[in-house]
Amino acid sequence: MLRQLTELRAAFIKRVRVELNSEFFSRVLLEYLWLNGAFVPSPYDKNQPMRDYEFMRDLFNKSSRGYASEREGKKPVALILGPIKNFVMAQDVAVVTGMRR
């Protein structure tokens, strides 16, 4: 999971297009992000960040079938480029990779 987090951070730094698929995410990583505060309250989720986590988890679980609606296609992008990216980029690289300074 730490490797995935580090790779996700590297993708953001390199400005790679990050999508909700198994190249960048896993159920374990999504749960880690949820448990560590990456999903934050917003008016779009009625100030219930668990709704965003559940949406992303459910969408990840059915990602091989594609998006059912235009909304389902835009919301994950907004979450990835917003709160998830902010959380990942704010993490201390030494802590994320397990390295000492």
Predicted model pTM: 0.82
Q: How confident is the model at residue 68 (pLDDT cuts 50, 70, 90)?
A: low
Residue 9, φ and ψ in degrees, nearest 5 = -60, -45
Q: Is the pLDDT of residue 41 over 50?
A: yes
Closest CA to 53 of 67, 36, 69: 36
* Tokens 């198994």 -> residue: 22
Q: How confident is the model at residue 17 (pLDDT cuts 50, 70, 90)?
A: very high
pLDDT on residue 98: 52
Closest CA to 73 of 15, 20, 18: 20
Q: Is the pLDDT of residue 100 over 50?
A: no
Angle at CA 65, nearest 5°, toward 44 and 89? 45
